Chain A
Amino acid sequence: MNNIYLYQDDFISLLNLINYLIKNKIKPDNIKPLSYCPTLLDEVINLKIEPTNNVIDFIIKIGNNKIFNIIYYVFLSDNENKELIIYYFYLNLLKYQTNIIYMRNLRCVTKALKIAKYVGNEAHRLKGFVRFQKLEHDIYYAEIAPNNNVLFLVSKHFKRRLKNEYWLIKDVKRKILSIYDKKDFYLIDEDNFQINDLKVAQEENDIKNMWKEFYDTIAIKERHNERCRMNFMPKKYWKYIIEMSDE
């Protein structure tokens, strides 16, 4: 049987569970969120640990902010084994502390660094690729469908950039919305919010067309290089990038 330990879907619960397992010298076969569907070979164990923030302070104390971010980014990723990778990373963090990021001969370290980079890159890319549409009542609205759960990271960026606008960003894949009210943003479930009755602002088409015109004009045809464009702007993002969505 595989011992599968369950946590309450959120980051803090996961860290608390891992902390508990390590303290009690328990080696899990896997760690999964509550929503996990066990197979016949799985034995699921729900320890129901009371989550506290102490574990975050502890990670930052023995490691640093950068190391904490690596763990957080791995958690945001779409990697199937992310919980187990975090478990082993955490285990080695206790041993190597801040030096852990140099231990590139350990699989869990190279994996974690790679995944964190992949998540960070996607968040960074989206800071550029998000396309807002202006709706009536001066609300800016965008949709994204990232591989990783980066809505929070992306929202943090736009909170600073478009701080005096109302905006909404929807993660279509995960059905979550980020709503900004000119003070802060809130992540909520799509089901709890109605946006269907908002219409696109009047000038929207003109602006969109101007942008498409600009986009087509700025390319130098003697330098045409499709492969290079795809490399930097993979096709999976095109659907939500208005200058690409008709291609």
Chain B
Amino acid sequence: MELKEKLKILADSAKYDVSCSSSGSKRKGDLGNTSFSGICHSFSADGRCISLLKILLTNCCIYDCKYCLNRQSNNIKRVIFTPEEICYITINFYKRNYIEGLFLSSGIIKSPDYTMNLIIETITLLRRKYHFGGYIHAKAIPGCSEYLVKKLGLLVDRLSANIELPTEKGIKLLAPNKNFGNTEKIMGYVKNNKSNKFVPAGQSTQMIIGATHESDLDIMQKSENMYNNFKLKRVFYSAYIPVNKDNLLPTFEKPPLIREHRLYQADWLLRYYGFKTNDLLDDQHVNFNLLIDPKANWALNHLQEFPKDINKCSYYDLLKVPGIGVTSAKRIMKSRQHFQITFKDLKNMGVVLKRAKYFITCSGKYFIDKTFFNKNFIEANLVLEDKQKSNPSRKQLSFFNE
């Protein structure tokens, strides 16, 4: 078989893993280095960043996860890369600046340990024989021996294991051969051993959204719990795309992209804005409002805490304002030591004024008559704003409304 054809098959099966980042590592080699902030080399037709050669080592698998193209019971063409083939493609792509490095995952062939050994052999070859200093993100195979995780972790920049679903019940239903605990065991090991030499760029994981009935609350609680317990760099959310027919799986025409988007927004709020899952969702509201982003939704439900005065309120108060991010909040804190900030200045600080203006005053002044400061007015305007927004979510929003 031609190498190109193999590449097509093994990239096709790897593409549902959404992690693409190439940041967080400071590595140098005879060939290549990593960029601490990460670099996107291209963007695919779905608008996702391409930074790594994302492939599986093989699409053979002894497991039968319901949602997966490579499950044992699917009748598809099975192929496997040799370690030299992977090195050849990686090095040649890298030297032409197509990619930032390699993302290597795999179906489980023979056993977790056997598969891990193949992955380790490949990456050892890349690092030792070809002196490759670019970025490598490898997937650890849950259920493998601990010493193999250790070995692989010393070769790569990022090591991760996908949790796939937020609850054990979900895993039992859709991935009957998998063991929830095995994935967390890898995460625990990586967390305890992380250093400049071992998995320097940290670990991440991924959850599939919408393949089971688990709620956003289930998902966010799991994320929060993993951030706290395993110091994950990122949790990725991947809207489920029906690749198999199975009566255990939902059928829908379009993947739940808005829901995915809301989860990413909420995830940011957990990581950078000091929010907790319980601030955003509770037993009465187990799913996010699809019409309004989680931060604005929170602000509308806590309107008694607003408006915040830009020239007086604390840093943490600024972060609570929709339309103000971490960078702009810091800028405001610095700038207001030198002058009184007006609405006009805020635009120059990266604040999204068309969202923020409803929730702030500048030296006591509201942007229009203060009698408009009420929930109905603000909510209606925010929703309208979102609908008009000429960004990618517009299409998603409108299909949801139909």
A residues at B contact (CB < 8 Å): 96, 99, 102-105, 110, 124, 127-134, 140, 142, 158, 160-165, 203, 206-207, 209-211, 213-229, 231-233, 241, 243-244
Contact = CB atoms under 8 A, between A and B. Distances in A.
Contacts of B31: 162, 164
A182 B97 CA distance: 17
Interface string B256-279: 010000000000000000000000
Given A102-B334, A160-B33, A225-B47, A207 B96 contact: yes
B169 interface: no
Contacts, number: 152
A93 to B, nearest CB: 14
A131 B3 contact: no
B96 A217 contact: no
A223 B16 CA distance: 11
Contacts of A203: 92
Given A132-B97, A207-B93, A217-B11, A229 B43 contact: yes
B41 A129 contact: yes
A22 to B, nearest CB: 22
Contacts of B12: 217
A133 B46 contact: no
B126 to A, nearest CB: 16
B7 A132 contact: no
Contacts of A130: 97
A164 B53 CA distance: 22
Given A165-B95, A214-B53, 18 more contacts: A102-B334, A104-B331, A128-B41, A128-B97, A132-B97, A142-B97, A160-B33, A207-B92, A210-B3, A214-B7, A216-B45, A217-B12, A222-B241, A222-B255, A224-B45, A229-B47, A232-B40, A233-B42
Nearest to A220: B46
Contacts of A102: 331, 334-335, 337-338
B54 interface: yes
Contacts of A218: 11, 15, 44, 48, 50, 54
19 contacts: A102-B337, A104-B348, A105-B342, A128-B100, A130-B97, A131-B96, A140-B95, A160-B28, A207-B92, A211-B93, A211-B96, A213-B4, A214-B7, A217-B8, A217-B11, A219-B44, A220-B48, A228-B47, A228-B392
A234 B48 CA distance: 14
Contacts of A244: 42
Interface residues of B, number: 56
B338 A128 contact: no
B47 A232 contact: yes
Contact of A131 (B8, B43, B97): B97
A210 B35 CA distance: 25
Contacts of A140: 95-96
Interface in B108-140: none
Contact of B7 (A142, A210, A219): A210
B339 interface: yes
A162 B95 CA distance: 7
Interface in B2-45: 3-4, 7-8, 11-12, 15-16, 28, 30-33, 35, 39-45
Given A103-B335, A110-B348, A226-B45, A211 B11 contact: no
Contact of B98 (A104, A131, A158): A131
Contacts of A225: 45-47, 392, 395
Contacts of A142: 97
B42 A161 contact: no
Q: Which of B44, B337, B345 counts the most A-chain CB atoms under 10 A from its CB? A: B44
Contacts of A110: 348
B18 to A, nearest CB: 9
A215 B50 contact: yes
A128 B39 contact: yes
B15 to A, nearest CB: 5
Contacts of A132: 95-97
A124 to B, nearest CB: 7
Interface in B315-366: 331, 334-335, 337-339, 341-342, 345, 348-349
Contact of A215 (B40, B42, B331, B334): B42
Contacts of A220: 15-16, 44, 46, 48, 241
A228 B339 CA distance: 38
B345 A105 contact: yes
A243 B100 CA distance: 16
Contact of A124 (B33, B39, B95, B100): B39
Q: Which of B45, B48, B254 counts the most A-chain CB atoms under 10 A from its CB? A: B45
Contacts of B341: 105
